[in-house]
Structures are given as structure tokens and as C-alpha cells.
Structure 1
Amino acid sequence: MIQAHATGGLPGYAEHFEEPEGYLDFARYGPPSRDVLAATADALTHSARAGHTTVDDLMRAEPRAREAAARLAGTDADHTVLLPNASTGLFHAAFGIPHGTVLVPATDFPANHYPWRRTSALGRAEPRWLTPGPDGLITPDTVAAALTDDVVALAVSAVDFRTGQRADLAALRETIGDDRLLIVDAIQGFGIADLPWQAADVVVSGGQKWLRASWSTGFATLSDRALERLEPTLTGWTGIEDVALFDDREHPPAPGAQRWSITNLSPVTAAALAAALELVEHTTVRAIEAHISTRVDQLIDTVRSCGGEILSPVTPADRAGIVSFHIPGIDTATVAKALHTYEVTPSVRATSVRLSPHASTRLAAVDRVQAALRSLT
């Protein structure tokens, strides 16, 4: 048995969760809180006892979640829209650009690739793939070297899914200037990294990872510049003015971010997202970020002490909650098997193993990693 340390997760936050002690895969999926479970069950229970006010009552979760997302992103509800996932937001952004070149990291997560491949196939925006430097990073200098007059936008991830490297959003905004759009996939950082989201014109995030709202939850925020420049190509019947007026005519798109709405989303998932976001607000992003940073430091020290090579940034200001590593001479499947034996849940790639703790992660999880890696030697 592993000797558990008394040190638990972040007080006031960790008490809301009950994931296994060795769960270190929040960059893939964040087990939801009891608050989210209760909100989901309550909404479903109400829907099962439907009356003449049930649908309207349930729909109140949507503005609640939208307002919470807006506060955390540093904007307002008029510039925020709920979405079922981050990919939907990226497709909205991509299809909203009628022409021009969009800079996209070639090593980014595929969710930020396929929207641009599809727009290219339709003769709209064309992607220009950015190759990272020797350090594997897309820096402001990398972007500056690729800027030409035809570039209309830059689409990046706030946090690299492989290494946890943070993008310098403020520097990227300064590099591309105010005449181009900055589109950010925030799913690996929103709610756990205190980043300047206001520097971006489009911020999209799903709620199933670090926000711990489970699947089919997400949102986007749009700046005034994005609302002005992005065509509402995918606007549906719920994204228009006078949405409740059924007069058999085409209505203009809603003036704010609601124009990205295609149809009504589930009020059940909206209730779950609202509960998750409000817990982050109550705890504060800075407190969550600080606890995660401590656990990341401990995991880095542990992996190194067991002969592992760290592939993630080691400076707190450069990273989020991801620790990627490999052990020379030992394949990742073998490392994964050892971690599973000690009831540790990582993400396993062909050439690396990824550990991602949250603010509910106990120090005992680090003990488990240490015991697993030592068993390999």
C-alpha cells in the first residue's frame, strides 16, 4: 500500500470531488463535482415531471452559465454564447472568415486543424501552417516571421496539449496587431490558468476537461472586432433577432455573440456548466492555479528522480497543468503499465506519458507515481 500524506487537495475546493486518489488525467477529462451531479440530477428530475412552466424554468440555466463564463473570461453576457463543445466554436470562427490566410500551428491539436482544412476546401480562409522552432514552441517571433499582408487571423491553443506550454496571448496580440483576429482554443487552460483572455477576439472552450462540467458543455466569447468581421455563416434559428416570432421570414442575426447559436442546447448540460463555473469563481482561478503548480513541481521532481526526462516547461510562468515525460530506454506502454499497477491514471502517447493534476489532487498521487516509476528500475 502507498503511504498517503495528510496533505490533500485545495481546501474548499477538493471537498466537492471524489475522483480516485491516483487520477492524473484532467487534460483529457475532468471528473465532475458533486455540485455538477446534483445540478444534472435536479434538472432531469424536473424534466421528468413536466408541467406548463417546466421548460421555461429549466431554460434559466442557460443565462446563468453564460454570465458565469463571461465573468471568468473578463467580458459580459452579450459577448458570450454557450456551445456544446470547443470544436463547434472553432468551426463558427473558421467559417466566419470569408477570405484571407489564417496562421495555425502545425503541431496544434487536430480540433484547430480541421475547421481550416474545411474552409480551404470551400475556397474561403486558407491555413498557413506554422512550424515550431527547435524548442518546439510557437513564439511571437515565429508568428512575426510568417506575417504577410494577406494574413487575417491567428488561431492558437492557449495551452499546448502535449507539453502544457502556455501561449503568450498578450505578446501574440501585440505581434499581429489590431487589424487581425486572434482566435484561441482555451480548453486546456480556462479555469486553471490566469491568462489575459481579453487579448483574444475569440475564446472557445469545452467544459469536460479542467472545468469539470462533463461532456456537451462549452462556450465562446467574441470581441466587438470579431462580431464586426466574422460572418454569421452557421447562425441557426436561435441565433437571430426576435427568436420567438415565427413569421415565416428570415430574421437578421442577433447583434451579439448569440448569433453563434444554431439551436437550443440542453438545459441539463447548461445547469451542469453553471455549477462548474460558479465553483471555479468561488474558489478563484488563482487559488486553483497555485495548487496545481505545486503538484506539477512535485511531479516534475519525482519523474526526474526516477530517471525520466521532462518534456514540459519547468518554469511556472510558462506552463499550465501538464507534465509530459519519457524514460530513456523504457517504452511508454511499460511505463503506463507500472502506473496502472499503482492505480495512477495518465494519458499515454506513442513517445510520452502525460500527467495532469488538478486542485483536488492529493499529495498521495505523487507518492503513487514515485512508487510506480521506481518499480521500473
Structure 2
Amino acid sequence: MTAQDRTGGLPGYAGHFEEPEGYLDFARYGPPSRDVLDATAQALADSARATHSTVDDLMRAEPRAREAAARLAGTDPGHIVLLPNTSTGLFHAAFGITGGTVLVPSGEFPSNRYPWQRAAELGRAVPRLLEPDQRGLITPDTVREALTGPGAGDVVAVALSAVDFRTGHRADLAAIREVIGDRLFVVDAIQGFGVADLPWQAADVVVTGGQKWLRAGWGTGFAALSDRALERLDPVLTGWTGVEDAGLFDDREHPPAAGAQRWSITNLSPVTAAAFAAALELVERSGVPAIEEHITTRVAQLIDTVLACGGEVLSPVAPEQRAGIVSFRIPGTDPRLVAKALHGYEVTPTVRADSLRLSAHASTPLAAVDRVHAALNSLR
């Protein structure tokens, strides 16, 4: 038994959380840490006793969160903007491209489909579906093929998920960057940021929400923009907080801010900023490689358990191709019945019409795997 198993999770990390040991739905929502709860409670308590300095004091949480996000993304705070969710960032990116074609994988989560459709309706960039290979995966080869066929010359950007929400397959961001060359590369990072040690600098736009694997709660997130993105994307949705001299109210239109702050529409909640900063700093202290190592171990154990119980695994089996998600089905058994069995053993999965999804984090103990094994065995 490893130290990770004895402590119930990654030492120094798992002790910050208190979700039930059978919770395996982090790809949908990550229960926040006590650090996040304490930061939220403190910010709210301070706001309830407001004085002349309270608002300014609370607003200091935003640059703190930006700095932590920048360190984790491998950039600087000037290339980071806080956002309330992933979708807001994707709409900024979609509306910012003036024309041309954007490759978007079929089967993408809808948050990476609607922004491009809405932009096309306004006469801006037009999305074109990027079809996966015979395994259902988006790879550098599938992108290369799409860029050598008819209409390839019109492609100005590629937008995809770093980790597929259905299967947990992780995209080879570095190789895809090489394939697309100087085109814009937009990455939805919500299923991988903070738990998968990926080369985020390969992308021009990295967008994530904080409510899943970062475990910061709802209303948190950020975007990291490269110099190429800042140069080419029109700041169509810039609000009053996204301009130069935002605090100067002189009844004149100010130019967009020089850095990523130009994607700001208005002030966000300093309470959620404090929560986000606490969550990001916990990831920093624990280290993404250590978090990823623990998740990799648990995912391998879950895959072995599903296979041993007669299940069909829909996620990649090779560790280098997957992140924290295990999608599966039990042949001949309605997923709702499988879910009922899992619930009976106090396991929380994601339930789909044709499959189930288990997603483990660095606080997930070995006992969670045992519960899944017992639940699936009960179906036999």
C-alpha cells in the first residue's frame, strides 16, 4: 500500500477536502476545499462590515488570482484576465475573429460550438466540423488532414478541448500547434487545467472555468492570451473595465487595455476572486505533476475494475492519452441501472444516456475504487 492510499489521497492535498470517499464526478463539479470556503466566508464577512477601505481591500483578490493563474499557465499576469466561466472566454474568442474558417471538432461540448455559430450568424468566422479518426479521437493527423483538403486556405483558427469531456482523451497540444502553424489555437482547458501537466503555452487562447478540477466553485475562471491572440483578436466585447484608465470617468471612449484585461466586461465578484485565488494557490503548493500522478494511479485502478467486472471502457487505456475521466458501459445493462447500483454503494458518477463517467481527483482514496468494484459486481 502506498502513502497515497494510506492517507486516502495525495498527502498534503487531500486533507484540504471533505467530499465523500465515493465521489467520482469531478468532471462535472469539483467540491471546493476548506481553503476556498474560508476565503469565501472571510470576504463575505468583511463585506458585511464595510468601511471606507473595504471595497479596495476586497478588490486585491483579483490581481492575486491573476498572478496565480499566470504562474500555472506559464505566462505573466498581463496575459491573464479573470472570467466568470469558460463560455464567456470562448465567446470573446469567437467574436474576435473577423472572418475565415475555424475548425471545431464534432462531438465537442456545446460551450465550444455555440460561440462560433453565433459569430457566423453575425458575418464573422464560420465554423467547420473537424472529424475524428476511426477511434473517435482528435489527433495531430486529423487536424493535418483537415488542413490539406478543400477550403484549407480559409482556415484561420482551430478550437478544441484539451481533454475530451466524453472520454478523457487528452489532445497533443504541442503537436497540434506544429501542424496548424501560425493560425490561432483556441483551447478549452476546463477538463484538464490544474490536473494535467500540458504545454498550455502552445495555445493562443486558454480558457477555463474553476468549478470542476480547480475546485474553486462556480463563477470563477480565466483566460490566458498569447501576443498573437492580442494582436489578431478584435476586442469586440470589451466593457468599461477592459479599457485604459478605466477609473477615469471623463465621458470619452477609452481604447481597449493593452493586455488580456481587454476581455473584461465589468468588475467580477471579489468574493469569487478570493475563492479562486485560494484554489489556484492550493494547486500550486501541491504541484500539478504530483496531482496528476495520483489521478493517473486512480484512473488506472478504475479502468482495471471496470474491465474485471465485464465493462467496456470507452476512454483511452494508454496513460499518456488520457486525463482523469473513465467512461464506460456495461454491455446489455441500462446505464440507469448501473447508476442505481453505484448509488447504492455511495458512488457518485456522471450518468449519460448511453454510458457512465467516473472522474477521480488527487483526494480520491483507494476505497472509492473498492466501492465501484462492489457496485459493479452486484450487477452480476
TM range (shorter): over 0.9
Amino acid aligned to 1:120? A
Partner of residue 158 from structure 1, selected from 158, 162, 175: 162
C-alpha displacement of 1:186: 0.2
Matched, 1:203 2:206: yes
Amino acid aligned to 1:364? A
Amino acid aligned to 1:226? A
Partner of residue 236 from structure 2, selected from 218, 233, 237: 233
Q: What CA distance in whole angstroms lies between the structure 2 residues aligned with 1:156 and 1:133?
A: 15
For residue 17 of structure 1, what is the aligned residue in structure 2? 17
C-alpha displacement of 1:132: 1.2
Partner of residue 358 from structure 1, selected from 350, 361, 369: 361
C-alpha displacement of 1:131: 1.5
Matched, 1:143 2:147: no
Matched, 1:370 2:373: yes
Q: Secondary structure at the match of 2:103?
A: strand
CA deviation map 1:6-25 (0-9, x unaligned): 45100000000000010000
For residue 333 of structure 2, what is the aligned residue in structure 1? 330
Q: What CA distance in whole angstroms lies between the structure 2 residues aligned with 1:184 and 1:6?
A: 36
Matched, 1:88 2:88: yes
Quick check: 1:108–1:157 contact (8 Å CA) kept in 2? yes
Matched, 1:97 2:100: no
Partner of residue 171 from structure 1, selected from 168, 175, 193: 175
Amino acid aligned to 2:163? V
C-alpha displacement of 1:134: 1.2
Partner of residue 276 from structure 2, selected from 273, 277, 282: 273
C-alpha displacement of 1:106: 1.1
Q: Secondary structure at the match of 1:238?
A: helix
Q: What CA distance in whole angstroms lies between the structure 2 residues aligned with 1:294 and 1:141?
A: 29
C-alpha displacement of 1:208: 0.1
C-alpha displacement of 1:141: 1.4
For residues 114-153 of structure 1, the aligned pairs below 5 Å read: 114-147=114-147, 148-153=152-157
CA deviation map 1:215-237 (0-9, x unaligned): 00000000000000000000000
Matched, 1:291 2:294: yes
For residue 8 of structure 2, what is the aligned residue in structure 1? 8
Q: Secondary structure at the match of 1:219?
A: strand
For residue 57 of structure 2, what is the aligned residue in structure 1? 57
For residues 181-260 of structure 1, the aligned pairs below 5 Å read: 181-260=184-263
Q: What CA distance in whole angstroms lies between the structure 1 residues aligned with 2:338 and 2:351?
A: 9
Amino acid aligned to 2:299? V
For residue 27 of structure 1, what is the aligned residue in structure 2? 27
Quick check: 1:8–1:360 contact (8 Å CA) kept in 2? yes
Q: Secondary structure at the match of 2:222?
A: strand
For residue 76 of structure 1, what is the aligned residue in structure 2? 76
Could you tell me which runs of 5 or more consecutive residues in structure 2 were left unpaired when the two chains were aligned. none
CA deviation map 1:240-285 (0-9, x unaligned): 0001100000000000000000000000000000000000000000
Q: What CA distance in whole angstroms lies between the structure 1 residues aligned with 2:42 and 2:292?
A: 30
Matched, 1:309 2:322: no
Aligned length: 372
Q: Secondary structure at the match of 1:47?
A: helix
CA deviation map 1:165-220 (0-9, x unaligned): 00000011000002x00000000000000000000000000000000000000000
Could you tell me which runs of 5 or more consecutive residues in structure 1 were left unpaired when the two chains were aligned. none
Amino acid aligned to 1:19? E
Quick check: 1:7–1:363 contact (8 Å CA) kept in 2? no
Q: Secondary structure at the match of 2:104?
A: strand
C-alpha displacement of 1:87: 0.4
C-alpha displacement of 1:327: 0.7
CA RMSD of aligned residues (A): 0.7
C-alpha displacement of 1:145: 1.6
CA deviation map 1:148-180 (0-9, x unaligned): 1110000000000000000000011000002x0
Q: What CA distance in whole angstroms lies between the structure 1 residues aligned with 2:122 and 2:246?
A: 29
Q: What CA distance in whole angstroms lies between the structure 1 residues aligned with 2:291 and 2:332?
A: 35
Q: What CA distance in whole angstroms lies between the structure 2 residues aligned with 1:106 and 1:322?
A: 19
Amino acid aligned to 1:14? A
Aligned residues: percent identity? 78
